[in-house]
Structure 1
Amino acid sequence: MKQLSIVLITGLLLGGCAPQTVEPMEDTVTQTRDLTDSDKDGVIAARDQCGDSVEQAKVNNEGCPSQRIEQESFELNVQFATASAQVREDQYADIRRLADFMRRYPQATVTIEGHASKVGNASYNMQLSQRRAEAIANVLVTQFYIDKNRVDAQGFGETQPLIDDESDRANEQNRRVIASVSGEHGVTEKRWTIYSSEEQ
């Protein structure tokens, strides 16, 4: 009986080791989607609608970077001599900076505001302030080639004094041309990493 048990167990064990038929697998599927990430933004090329993201840009599911709008401004303040609308050579550097700003922001326009001190009569001062504003506008257009349609000149005479009295200091400060211009530009937001600073 012992022998019969050994024979049966051996038969069962050998039967379990008998060759089995292997079913062939279906043909492998060729990968048709581009799974690379050439701009390293974490979005595969097959889904990336903005394939040229800047490094470390914060992107959405389509791989397009998030942008925030930043505003920059520039202010011009040019002083004039008494009863003069003559732009001095040393003032060209400030006007050039205004022109450079306007080139960086081609949609920006500027109003050049001319002002006068309270010395003299109001009618004369209004004309003088207009000539001062036009003198600065003319330098912007003819010397620095800013389109004249982007530049407006307006005189205010003595109606908007910086210092409202007739002291020498007030007269000097009030004989001026001012301009303020601003422009907007988009800035790509960066994603946070362990190397990011707190300010980002």
Structure 2
Amino acid sequence: MKYTIIGLLALSLFGCSLSVPHPPIAKQTKNLFDNDSDGVINQRDHCAKTPLDAVVDNDGCPTYVDSSEENSIHVLFANDSSVIAESYIQNIKQMSAFLAKYPKTHIELKGYASPVGNANYNVALSKRRASVIRQALINEGVTPARIKTVGFGDSDPVKTSDIEESNTLSRRVIAQLIGYQENIVKEWTVYTVREN
């Protein structure tokens, strides 16, 4: 007890303070706002307009996943004709919808003729056939600059055991396309609604 009293007297003599100094005020030098609400501050955000539901990387940029899809057009014509049969209109509409879904995709329509008649005439006929399909796609809303046509004439007939069948299948316009698209990976939250 004697030592406790001496210790208290010593503390009071040396002026021990019980008050704590205030910490220094920190000066904010960086913009800590997050204007697009993606969880990355503006100072570090390299993609300023990220969609709200996107999964983002450390730079605030959305994560993408590539997807692709194939589509084709195959239209047959009658002998010495460039008139589109009614049965092929749906195929043209599907190609138009495909091109609308993939706006960066271009199409090359390849026209052919059967090896009947003059070769020069068949080249012109195959070009007319490709042009007719081109116009049908334009009528469905496809931009003309996205469509190229080529006429091959009778240079590549479809080979079958029957000559008549071979000629029928050779009178055609074809195109094969692959559409590529980058889709943003979306993050799931308790507020996410499932798409049907």
How does the TM-score come out when normalised to structure 2? 0.72
| 1:197 counterpart residue number | none
Indicate whether 1:169 and 2:165 are aligned: yes
In terms of Rg, which structure is larger?
Answer: 1
Task: Report deviation, 1:169.
Answer: 2.7
Quote how far apart the aligned CAs of 1:167 are. Answer: 2.5
Judge conservation of contact 1:118–1:166 (CA < 8 Å) in 2.
no
User: 1:14 and 1:90 mapped to 2: Cα distance?
Assistant: 107
> What amino acid maps onto 2:84 in structure 1?
V
Asked if structure 1 preserves the Cα contact closer than 8 Å seen for 2:54 and 2:62, the reply is no
| Moved >6 Å (runs of 4+) | 35-38
Structure 2 residue 99 is matched with structure 1 residue 105:
no
Select the residue among 133, 136, 146 that pairs with 1:136.
Answer: 133
Which residue of 2 is the match for residue 9 of structure 1?
A: 3
1:164 shift after superposition: 5.7
Matched residue, 2:177: 181
Counterpart Cα distance in 2 of 1:148 and 1:53: 32
SS at match of 1:78: strand
Partner of 1:3: none
AA aligned opposite 1:11: I
Contact 2:72 2:174 in 1 (8 A): yes
Report the residue type matching 2:5 in the other structure.
G
Equivalent residue number for residue 83 of structure 1:
80
| Counterpart Cα distance in 1 of 2:177 and 2:22 | 71
**2: CA distance, partners of 1:144 / 1:188:** 29
**Gaps (5+ residues) in structure 2?**
188-196
Q: SS of 2:83's equivalent?
A: coil
CA distance 1:42–1:94, shift in 2 (3 Å)? same
Structure 1 contact 115–160 (Cα < 8 Å) conserved:
yes
Mapped to 1, the partners of 2:171 and 2:161 lie a distance apart of 13
* 1:29-52: CA deviation from partner (whole Å, max 9, x where unpaired): 37675377974x553455334353
Match of 2:142 in 1: 146
% identical aligned pairs: 30
AA partner of residue 32 (structure 2): D
How big is the shift at 1:152? Answer: 2.3
User: In 2, Cα distance between the equivalents of 1:145 and 1:37?
Assistant: 38
2:149 aligned partner, one-letter code:
A
Contact 1:162 1:170 in 2 (8 A): yes
Q: Which amino acid aligns with 1:24?
A: P
Where 2:150 maps in the other structure, the secondary structure is strand
The answer for the alignment partner of 2:119 in structure 1 is: 122
Among 34, 42, 47, the residue aligned to 2:44: 47
Equivalent position amino acid for 1:77 in 2: H
Figure out how many residues of one structure are paired with residues of the other and give that number: 183
